[in-house]
């Protein structure tokens, strides 16, 4: 019975690791499939987008967050509710542009890269690019077109991971989901 | 803590990506290998602080209870064995199948979604010192039987 003790508490952690490891296996597969890092980034973004357009439903259903009044509120909801719910972290919202249409999410620790070291020769790979796609897809479903880029990546030796979100425009009609 | 919805969506994306890009007969082994890799690492981390397993059956129980719960939020419903190296794990509501329509229509697609879980089991068992072949069988969605055939070294 001694083995049983302590296992329950680890269950939650293990399920986070399940996601992290599965994602790692996916990136490894993509690197095998594509010649260039740019292609891998693009594919990760596309898959993230497909996840994002569906994940938003789950998010809205469970968070009971209402309509955001401005982009600042959106930023807070993404960081404090969205990231908290799905990845268990709360990035810092920082570096607002003067016009208030651009901000950064600063991740002190990134659960996706927990077991990762980038091998040489992949300087252009945005390992966590799935996140950009997820954010883009999810926001598109609430009528916001945004541009998401990685400004800094701790994997590449930067101090933190910084994701930049730029508001492009308000979409008038929701686009059909599931399109690539 | 990663939410399970996120993992489910990721898994679906991986399956759909592979079937769009790779040859059909290659997809299943690729998925299985990804599962193997993940299961192998998970079992390693999962049993870090635990004492030694008593025997093979003890390991199987671990897979059915702790391992399955952490991955799919439920236990395996039934474990059977012929005591000659074959184990059958029955999951009456297999998490990867519950999101698919339960009609016969998608029965053909079920193996695509079960390759990863098969690999998970094989990987976890390999880490615990059991080499085996894992196959899945679906008769009625979303119930699924995983058959584990232990490979004894000569």
Percent of chain B with pLDDT over 90: 55
Contact A175, A140 (CB under 8 A): yes
pLDDT, average across residues B60-86: 91
Cβ pair B34:A29 closer than 8 A:
yes
Considering only the beta carbons, identify the residue of B3, B18, B42 that sits closest to A17.
B42
Check residue A16 and give its pLDDT.
81
| pLDDT tens column, B29-40 | 999 999 999 999
Reading phi first (left if > 0) and then psi (alpha if -120 to 50, else beta), residue A95 is in left
Q: Of the candidates B122, B93, B95, which has an alpha carbon nearest to the alpha carbon of residue B29?
A: B122
pLDDT for A4:
46
Average pLDDT for runs of 10 along chain A of length 180? 44 73 94 93 96 93 88 94 91 94 93 89 92 95 93 91 93 68
Test B66 with A7 for CB contact under 8 angstroms.
Answer: yes
CA distance B76 to chain A (A): 16
The pTM of this model reads 0.88
pLDDT at B3: 73
pLDDT at position B100 is 82
Average pLDDT over residues B96-124: 88
B10, B14, B35, B95: which to substitute to probe chain A, counting the most A Cβ within 10 Å? B10
Distance CA B37, CA A62 (A): 32
Residue B140 tokens read as 């009625």
At the topology level, CATH places domain A16-116+126-170 in Muramoyl-pentapeptide Carboxypeptidase; domain 2 (3.30.1380)
Looking at beta carbons, which residues of chain B come within 8 Å of A16? 1-2
B129: CB partners within 8 A, 6+ apart: none
For each of the domains in chain B, give its residue range(s) and CATH number, in order of start: 2-150 (3.30.1380.20)
Instruction: List CB contacts of B88: < 8 A, sequence separation 6 or more.
Output: B78, B79, B80, B81, B145, B146, B147, B148
Q: Please give the residue that has the higher pLDDT: either B22 or B58.
A: B58
Mean of the per-residue pLDDT values of chain B: 89
Looking at per-residue confidence, does B22 or A141 come out higher? A141
Q: Please state the domain extents for chain A.
A: 16-116+126-170
Dump pLDDT digits (tens) for A90-122: 999 999 999 999 999 999 989 999 889 888 888
Q: Give CA–CA dist A82/B68, Å, rounded.
A: 26
Distance of CA A116 to the CA centre of its chain: 16
CA distance B78 to B145: 9
Question: Residue A13: its pLDDT value, please?
Answer: 57
> What value of ipTM does the predicted structure carry?
0.89
pLDDT at A180: 57
Nearest to residue B128, comparing CAs of B60, B74, B79? B60
Query: Is residue A93 within a helix (H) or strand (E), and if so which, with residue range?
Result: strand A92-94
CA B28 to chain centroid, in Å, comes to: 13
Instruction: Please give the pLDDT value at position B154.
Output: 57
Q: Please list the alpha-helical segments (H only) found in B22-128.
A: 24-46, 56-62, 68-72, 110-127
Helix (H, G, I), strand (E, B), or coil: what is residue B132?
Answer: strand
Of A22, A4, A10, nearest to B61 by C-alpha is A4
How confident is residue B5, by pLDDT bands cut at 50, 70 and 90? confident
pLDDT at A120: 86
**Is residue B105 predicted with pLDDT exceeding 80?**
yes
Unique residue bearing structure tokens 């901000």: A103
Asked if the model's pLDDT at residue B87 lies above 60, the reply is: yes
């Amino acid at each position: 019975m001694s083995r049983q003790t302590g296992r329950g508490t680890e269950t939650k952690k293990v399920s986070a690791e399940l996601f992290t490891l599965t994602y790692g296996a996916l990136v490894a597969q993509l690197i095998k499939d594509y010649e260039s890092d740019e292609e891998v980034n693009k594919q990760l973004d596309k898959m993230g987008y497909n996840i994002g357009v569906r994940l938003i439903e789950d998010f809205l259903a469970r968070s009971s967050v209402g309509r955001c009044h401005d982009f600042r509120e959106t930023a807070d909801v993404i960081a404090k509710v969205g990231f908290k719910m799905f990845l268990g972290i709360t990035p810092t919202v920082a570096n607002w542009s003067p016009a208030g249409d651009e901000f950064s999410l600063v991740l002190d620790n990134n659960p996706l890269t927990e077991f990762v070291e980038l091998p040489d020769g992949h300087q252009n790979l945005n390992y966590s690019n799935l996140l950009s796609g997820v954010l883009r897809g999810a926001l598109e479903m609430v009528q916001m077109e945004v541009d998401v880029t990685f400004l800094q990546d701790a994997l590449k030796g930067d101090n933190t991971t910084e994701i930049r979100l730029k508001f492009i425009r308000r979409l008038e009609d929701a686009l059909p989901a599931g399109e690539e | 803590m990663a939410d399970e919805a996120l993992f489910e969506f990721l898994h679906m994306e991986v399956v759909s990506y592979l079937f769009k890009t790779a040859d059909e007969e290659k997809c299943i082994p690729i998925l299985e290998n990804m599962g193997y890799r993940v299961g192998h690492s998970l079992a390693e981390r999962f049993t870090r602080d635990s004492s030694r397993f008593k025997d093979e059956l003890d390991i199987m129980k671990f897979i059915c209870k702790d391992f399955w719960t952490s991955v799919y939020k439920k236990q395996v419903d039934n474990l059977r064995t012929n005591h000659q190296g074959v184990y059958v794990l029955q999951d009456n509501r297999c998490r990867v199948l519950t999101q698919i329509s339960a009609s016969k229509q998608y029965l053909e697609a079920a193996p695509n979604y079960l390759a990863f879980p098969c690999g998970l089991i094989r990987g976890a068992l390999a880490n615990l010192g059991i080499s085996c072949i894992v196959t899945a069988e679906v008769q009625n969605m979303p119930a699924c039987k995983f058959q584990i055939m232990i490979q004894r070294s000569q």
